[in-house]
């Protein structure tokens, strides 16, 4: 039976389960199905389960009453025919078979004990997810450090925003993706957007760019003419189309122009920053004509963009300007340096810490911000504290009721962790929560090898993803509309997720699961199962940290929403008077010891896997409007799958003619790591030296099988976004015999 509470009869005000925009929506139970787990689990004729809830948008600040295709169809995932509703254990015949919770957890605990007896605490690892609620992310980090006592925990947020986080921490002393409300963008004259395609990845975001578009000030930097780039390419802005992997050169040249033409905000720099002189020297070599030879952007375009940014800045009487970065510039071996270059540009113009201007990063995953603040990241404790800080260890240990000496130190970041699985001295067991690493990790064939070599792979999920299908044990867990909790949006806004339906079958919350595993493993550390109680503990553990939630609670967030409030922003410390939260950070000072932002000189090095004779074409990857992340959810939604049912490769007609690949042909991409195949689509939206492929599929069309797992030396972000490939036509005689690993809908 389900451990979930009875579903409420009234509509539930909650948020979309997908991206970090966290659009407000209302879920209305459908009569006859909303409170019935059997109705959710049992397919209707034709293989479709009856939808337990109806979705409608709410007038929330981020979406203002709108939803994208994924949001409108989100209820479909609640009723997919292959929903996991009972524990599964791999038998002697190699097949997964249904088991009781007691059988599954007994097997897991016995195997964990045996592995730790042989290999020590580090023999077990955890890989989490940026879609978990704050409560579950917090409990997962606590479980790793107090029950397993392993340092080996990281999460797929390492693939999302780690470079921006590293650059933000270094420059500002704290990392909050957007240190201002999203609605502030609407008043700006200029928005410079690098490496992001929100028109497809988070469509309701686009309305906040309307002010800049109307002013002719939307500037989109992208090697591909994406849907967002087309917004700027229609006379309402500028599309800057650099050579893949050279975004940093664009930024260095922009700052060169700002400095050379005396467009900087000198008073702001003197009062609020440190390191400017070193940065000036570092950009002196990147005059626009030289930059053009590397990035391919005309020198005059670089000058025009720099001047527009400056004219929009407060120092020059403009209405405001913003510099925003996304995965396209961050998922690189020089991602931290590229974001640092963007921050240096914003600081030089006096944009950061001023109402109406700023720098921000567009977080991707639903709880990508909150997911890294409270303990899933390999080097962090709750409240965004560093795990190697003695004071932080002592304080958090006191909240957990353990000796700080028993807490492990920093662990391995995601790529290193996955690479170390089942190696001598590495973890021999892995728990996966809220992630599909077989599709989402770079160099995915190598990841498959490591997972297959483990002594124990436990996957907690609600659908049989590619990763779950490899597991020794699969544990059915609740999903968004079946649970209570909180999420933290891309703005640092803490919002409530609310239950609308009962979970099907034997699916249970990870809060219950972690508490039960802790009990079975003999731990006396308390693990709450009520989300409100867990949040209260999280709030106490975060007190005094950079991400201070101590003034928040479910009750306070509910009360705020009851009077029309849109959620509260961290930091929100517990004070004698109720703290209002912090919508806009850095207005008075930065989070550094002296309150000044740090400007750090950086330089361009280029992609780790650059084009060469046997791989003369750039591969860039990204998302499509209809699908999300690894596609494990959206590929199961018939309406979305019908629109984009399979992976594809976009290539310019000139490249197609040169290599002999016609529109609609199958094409093979070969990198130093492997081979993928998909249907070719001719388009002039990509450069003739570049191909584009979305990453929502596994199997033969799983592009992350060939992406690079080289990492940024500071953030450990892998270089997903650019690598070198050879483009080869697939002929009828070709018999590529790869396991497709596809998941049927």
SS (HEC) of 177-243: CCCCCHHHHHHCCEEEEECCCHHHHCHHHHHHHHHHHHCCCEEEECCCCCHHHHHHCCCCEEEECCC
Task: Go through the chain and tell me how many residues it has.
Answer: 745
Q: d(Cα 475, Cα 512) in Å, to the nearest integer?
A: 12
Q: d(Cα 710, Cα 720) in Å, to the nearest integer?
A: 9
Average pLDDT over residues 622-646: 95
Average pLDDT over residues 474-493: 96
Query: At 137, is the secondary structure helix, strand, or coil?
Result: helix
User: Where among 319, 335, 362 does a domain terminate?
Assistant: 362
Inter-residue contact 139 to 132 (CB < 8 Å) = no
Q: d(Cα 171, Cα 731) in Å, to the nearest integer?
A: 52
Q: d(Cα 411, Cα 416) in Å, to the nearest integer?
A: 10
Query: 332 and 378 share a domain?
Result: no
- Per-residue CA distances from 27 to 17, 32, 58, 152, 692 (Å): 12, 15, 10, 38, 36
User: Where among 39, 55, 79 does a domain terminate?
Assistant: 79
Query: 214 and 306 share a domain?
Result: yes
739 has pLDDT over 70: no
Average pLDDT over residues 226-248: 93
pLDDT single digits (tens) 60-96 = 999 999 999 999 999 999 999 999 999 999 999 999 9
Burial class (CB in 10 A: 0-12, 13-18, 19+), 91: exposed
Inter-residue contact 77 to 55 (CB < 8 Å) = no
Contacts of 150 (CB under 8 A, 6+ apart): 121, 122, 123, 124, 125, 126, 144, 408, 411, 427
Query: 254 and 336 share a domain?
Result: yes
Inter-residue contact 442 to 492 (CB < 8 Å) = no
**Residue 504, φ and ψ in degrees, nearest 5:** -80, 155
**Residue 639: CATH number of its domain:** 2.40.40.20
Q: Is residue 595 part of a domain?
A: no
Quick one: pLDDT at residue 49?
Answer: 53
Q: d(Cα 191, Cα 60) in Å, to the nearest integer?
A: 22
* pLDDT more than 70, % of the chain: 94
Query: 332 and 252 share a domain?
Result: yes
User: Where among 313, 328, 362 does a domain terminate?
Assistant: 362
CA torsion angle for 168, 169, 175, 181 (degrees, to 10)? -40
Q: Which pLDDT band, with edges at 50, 70 and 90, does 235 fall under? A: confident
Say which residue the tokens 């280029």 belong to: 606
Inter-residue contact 19 to 487 (CB < 8 Å) = no
Ramachandran assignment for 350, one of left (phi > 0), alpha (psi -120 to 50 degrees), beta (any other):
left
Q: Is residue 540 part of a domain?
A: yes
Q: Which pLDDT band, with edges at 50, 70 and 90, does 160 fall under? A: confident
**Residue 447: CATH number of its domain:** 3.40.50.740
Nearest to 462 by CA among 693, 255, 636: 636
Nearest to 31 by CA among 13, 3, 51: 51
Q: d(Cα 693, Cα 683) in Å, to the nearest integer?
A: 12
Query: 371 and 358 share a domain?
Result: no
The parent domain of residue 63 ranges over 12-79
738 has pLDDT over 60: no
Nearest to 407 by CA among 422, 388, 424, 420: 388
Q: Which pLDDT band, with edges at 50, 70 and 90, does 734 fall under? A: low
List beta partners, residue 603. none
Q: Is residue 211 part of a domain?
A: yes
Q: d(Cα 352, Cα 355) in Å, to the nearest integer?
A: 8
pLDDT single digits (tens) 531-586 = 999 999 999 999 999 999 999 999 999 999 888 888 899 999 998 789 999 999 99
Ramachandran assignment for 149, one of left (phi > 0), alpha (psi -120 to 50 degrees), beta (any other):
left
* pLDDT more than 90, % of the chain: 90
Q: d(Cα 509, Cα 354) in Å, to the nearest integer?
A: 42
| Pairing relationship of beta strands 124-128 and 153-155 according to DSSP bridges | parallel
Nearest to 695 by CA among 626, 647, 638, 743: 647
Q: d(Cα 397, Cα 529) in Å, to the nearest integer?
A: 20
Query: 449 and 510 share a domain?
Result: yes
State the first-to-last Cα distance of the chain, in angstroms, to the nearest integer: 26
204 has pLDDT over 90: yes
Q: Which pLDDT band, with edges at 50, 70 and 90, does 364 fall under? A: confident
Query: At 691, is the secondary structure helix, strand, or coil?
Result: strand
Query: 356 and 287 share a domain?
Result: yes
Nearest to 618 by CA among 694, 688, 723, 728: 723
Query: 70 and 96 share a domain?
Result: no
Average pLDDT, the chain: 93
- Per-residue CA distances from 463 to 32, 53, 164 (Å): 24, 19, 31
Q: Is residue 472 part of a domain?
A: yes
Contacts of 552 (CB under 8 A, 6+ apart): 494, 535, 539, 568, 570, 572, 581
> What pTM was estimated for this model as a whole?
0.94
Query: 538 and 670 share a domain?
Result: no
Q: Is residue 589 part of a domain?
A: no
Q: Which pLDDT band, with edges at 50, 70 and 90, does 372 fall under? A: confident
207 has pLDDT over 50: yes
Quick one: pLDDT at residue 32?
Answer: 60
177 has pLDDT over 70: yes
List beta partners, residue 296. none
**Residue 275: CATH number of its domain:** 3.40.228.10
The C-alpha angle 219, 643, 621, rounded to 5 degrees, equals 45
Q: How many independent structural domains does the chain possess?
A: 4
């Amino acid at each position: 039976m389900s451990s979930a509470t009875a579903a409420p009869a009234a509509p539930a005000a909650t948020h979309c389960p997908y991206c970090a925009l966290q659009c407000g929506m209302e879920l209305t139970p459908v009569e006859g199905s909303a409170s019935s787990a059997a109705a959710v689990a049992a397919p209707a004729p034709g293989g479709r389960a009856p939808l337990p809830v109806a979705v409608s948008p709410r007038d929330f600040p981020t979406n203002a009453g709108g939803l994208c295709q994924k949001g409108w169809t989100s209820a479909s995932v609640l009723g997919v025919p292959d929903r996991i509703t009972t524990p599964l254990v791999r038998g002697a015949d190699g097949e997964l078979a249904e088991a009781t919770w007691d059988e599954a957890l007994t097997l897991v605990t016995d195997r964990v004990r045996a592995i730790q007896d042989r290999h020590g605490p580090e023999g077990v690892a955890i890989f989490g997810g940026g879609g978990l609620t704050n409560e579950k992310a917090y409990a997962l980090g606590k479980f790793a450090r107090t029950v397993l006592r392993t340092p080996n925990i990281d999460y797929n947020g390492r693939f999302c925003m780690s470079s921006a986080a590293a650059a933000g921490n270094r420059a500002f002393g704290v990392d909050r993706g957007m240190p201002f409300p999203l609605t502030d963008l609407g008043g700006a004259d200029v928005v410079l957007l690098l490496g992001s395609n929100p028109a497809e990845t988070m469509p309701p975001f686009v309305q906040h760019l309307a002010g800049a578009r109307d002013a002719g000030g939307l500037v989109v930097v992208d090697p591909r003419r994406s849907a967002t780039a087309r917004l700027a390419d229609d006379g309402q802005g500028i599309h800057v189309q650099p050579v893949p992997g050279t975004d940093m050169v664009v930024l260095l040249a922009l700052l060169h122009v700002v400095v050379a033409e005396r467009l900087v905000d000198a008073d702001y720099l003197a009062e609020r920053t440190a390191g400017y002189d070193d940065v000036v020297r570092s950009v002196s070599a990147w005059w626009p004509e030289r930059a053009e030879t590397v990035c391919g952007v005309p020198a005059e375009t670089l000058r025009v963009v720099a001047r527009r940014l400056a004219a929009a800045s407060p120092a020059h009487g403009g209405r405001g300007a913003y510099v925003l970065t996304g995965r396209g510039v961050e998922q690189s071996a020089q991602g931290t340096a590229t974001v640092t270059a963007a921050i240096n540009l914003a600081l030089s113009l006096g944009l950061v810490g001023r109402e109406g201007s700023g720098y921000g990063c567009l977080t991707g995953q639903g709880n990508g911000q909150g997911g890294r603040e409270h303990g899933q990241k390999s080097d962090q404790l709750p409240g965004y504290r560093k795990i190697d800080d003695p004071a932080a260890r002592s304080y958090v240990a006191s909240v957990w009721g353990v000796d700080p000496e028993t807490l492990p130190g920093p662990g391995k970041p995601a790529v290193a962790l996955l690479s170390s699985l089942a190696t001598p001295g590495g973890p021999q067991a892995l728990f996966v929560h809220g992630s599909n690493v077989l599709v989402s990790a770079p160099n995915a064939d190598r990841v498959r090898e490591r997972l297959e070599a483990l002594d124990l792979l436990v996957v907690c999920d609600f659908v049989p993803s590619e990763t779950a299908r490899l597991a020794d044990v699969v544990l059915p867990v609740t999903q968004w509309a079946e649970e209570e909790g909180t999420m933290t949006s891309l703005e640092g806004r803490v919002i409530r997720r609310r239950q609308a339906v009962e979970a099907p079958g034997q699916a249970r919350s990870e809060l219950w699961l972690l508490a039960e595993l802790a009990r079975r493993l003999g731990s006396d550390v308390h693990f709450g199962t009520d989300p409100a109680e867990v949040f209260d503990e999280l709030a106490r553990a975060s007190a005094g940290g950079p991400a201070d939630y101590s003034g928040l609670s479910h009750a306070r967030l509910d009360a705020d929403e009851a009077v029309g409030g849109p959620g509260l922003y961290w930091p929100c410390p517990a004070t004698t008077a109720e703290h209002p939260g912090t919508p806009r950070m850095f207005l008075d000072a930065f989070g550094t010891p002296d309150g000044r932002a740090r400007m750090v000189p950086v330089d361009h090095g280029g992609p780790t896997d650059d084009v060469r004779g046997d791989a003369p074409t750039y591969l860039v990857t990204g998302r499509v409007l209809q699908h999300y992340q690894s596609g494990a959810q959206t590929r199961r939604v018939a309406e979305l799958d019908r629109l984009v049912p399979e992976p594809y490769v976009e290539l310019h007609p000139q490249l197609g003619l040169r290599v002999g690949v016609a529109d609609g042909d199958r094409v093979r991409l070969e990198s130093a790591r492997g081979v993928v195949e998909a249907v070719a689509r001719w388009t002039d939206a990509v450069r003739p030296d570049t191909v584009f492929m979305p990453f929502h599929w596994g199997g033969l069309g799983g592009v992350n099988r060939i992406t690079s797992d080289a990492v940024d030396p500071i953030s450990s972000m892998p270089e997903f976004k650019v690598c070198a490939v050879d483009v080869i036509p697939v002929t009828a005689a070709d018999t590529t015999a790869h396991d497709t690993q596809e998941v049927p809908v």
